[in-house]
Amino acid sequence: MPSAIRLTEERQPTLADAIVETVREPMVVLNRELRVVAASRSFYQTFTVSPPDTKGKLFYELGGGDWDIPELRQLLGKILPERGAIENCEVEHDFRAIGRRTMRLNARHLVYARGARTNILLGIEDLTRERSRQRAQDEMLQQKDILLSEIQHRIGNSLQIIANIMLVKALSVTSEETRRALTDAHDRVISIAAVQHCLHAFAPGGSIELAGYLGELCEAMSQAVIRDRRSIAIEVIGDNARVSCTVAESLGLIVAELVINALKYAFDDTTSSGRIRVCYTANGDDWSLTVADNGVGQPESDAPVTAGLGTGIIRALAERLGARVSTMRKAGGTAIAITHAAAGGNEAAGA
């Protein structure tokens, strides 16, 4: 709708009626005194007023004063004269006959060629049903989030119970091989429970700030997995990168597996100040996740990234992310890097 429509004064009443008769939304034409010149059928039907009680009446007096709305007075009395138009202004009001309504208002001046009169064309869109649907949808989404939270809480509790049963069983068996298998299973169940708990705590549905999430994850694992009195610290460093929950879940499982491996293989009974450092850096679509320790390591043939269940888990998760796995061993410990290069391939490789 243009900001100003120029008409000849003689044609004004007929054309005003014709304009409002062709529109499906509620619409009124007001003169400069804000009396109704014409109104559409939809206006009469939506707001339950009749033509005899509308035409020629002061707009604010329609419906027994229902349209005497402070926001509308400000729009028509101040904003419209200053700007020449009103765009998409929402107003809520309680009407005695039809209840509460949410309306979107648009208004323009009708300027006549000889300048004798200036009328106002006011369009009123009833948004009540749309807003009601939005509120119902928001309530459903909120209920879904509550239900999802409850399910995740129950899953987390169940995983904790399973892990505790495994640990108790591991302490009661006489076979060292069985004890080791049960302990490994306990650690992996704990890591999955920690990942799910931290994911939900940091971002139940959106993107996640990775450094804080990994820090919380490593803290939870430190309390659950470091069972002896060895002094082993887990440190997380990184930038303020944010990733989707799907990516965060895969990275969290990788970190959990690598931390478990480091705790299992990197340190011996002589360790007095062990350290595991988790570092994540990103540059655009390129990123790198490194888990390094200052432990004694283990023989090349037994390294956890070259054989075993942990290897398969790490490589499968890295492949899902389109990343590669590499291992760096030196006298001061071992570092395992998961790197993603946007321009590179996605084949996992060991070094």
pLDDT tens, residue by residue, 160-191: 778 778 778 888 888 888 887 887 787 778 77
Cβ 256 vs Cβ 284: under 8 Å: no
Report the chain's mean pLDDT, rounded to a whole number: 78
Q: Is 50 exceeded by the pLDDT of residue 251? A: yes
Could you tell me which of 98, 87, 165 has the C-alpha nearest to residue 128? 98
Listed in sequence order, the DSSP H helices in the chain are 12-21, 41-46, 62-65, 70-74, 80-83, 128-172, 176-202, 210-225, 245-265, 309-320
Give the chain's domains with CATH numbers: 4-126 (3.30.450.20), 132-340 (3.30.565.10)
pLDDT recorded at residue 164: 77
Could you tell me which of 246, 253, 260 has the C-alpha nearest to residue 205? 246
Q: Quickly tell me which residue has 């060991």 as its tokens.
A: 350
Tokens of 52: 């005899």
* Distance from C-alpha of 278 to C-alpha of 257, rounded to nearest angstrom: 12
| Burial 209-234, CB ≥16 within 10 A → b, else e | bbbebbbbbbebbbebbbeeeeebeb
Strands across the sheet with 333-340, in order?
232-238, 274-283, 286-293, 333-340, 324-330
The angle subtended at Cα 166 by Cα 163 and Cα 170, nearest 5°, is 140
Could you give the percent of the chain with pLDDT greater than 90? Answer: 8
Q: What is the pLDDT of residues 94-137, one digit of tens each?
A: 998 888 999 998 888 876 555 556 688 888 988 888 888 888 88
DSSP track, 52-85: TTTTTSBGGGHHHHTT--HHHHHIIIIIHHHHSE
* Distance from C-alpha of 304 to C-alpha of 294, rounded to nearest angstrom: 16
User: What would the mean pLDDT of 231-253 be, rounded to a whole number?
Assistant: 85
* Distance from C-alpha of 276 to C-alpha of 162, rounded to nearest angstrom: 27
Could you give the percent of the chain with pLDDT greater than 70? Answer: 79
State residue 345 phi and psi, 5-degree precision: -80, 180
Tokens of 133: 């649907």
* Distance from C-alpha of 350 to C-alpha of 348, rounded to nearest angstrom: 7
* Distance from C-alpha of 108 to C-alpha of 175, rounded to nearest angstrom: 87
Q: Are strands 286-293 and 333-340 parallel, antiparallel or unpaired?
A: antiparallel
State residue 126 phi and psi, 5-degree precision: -85, 110
Tokens of 87: 């765009």
DSSP3 helix / strand / coil % (the chain, rounded to 5): 45, 25, 25
pLDDT recorded at residue 152: 66
Greatest Cα pair distance, the chain, in angstroms, is 106
Is pTM, for the whole model, over 0.95?
no
Q: What is the pLDDT of residues 54-105, one digit of tens each?
A: 989 999 988 888 899 888 888 888 777 777 788 888 888 899 888 899 999 8
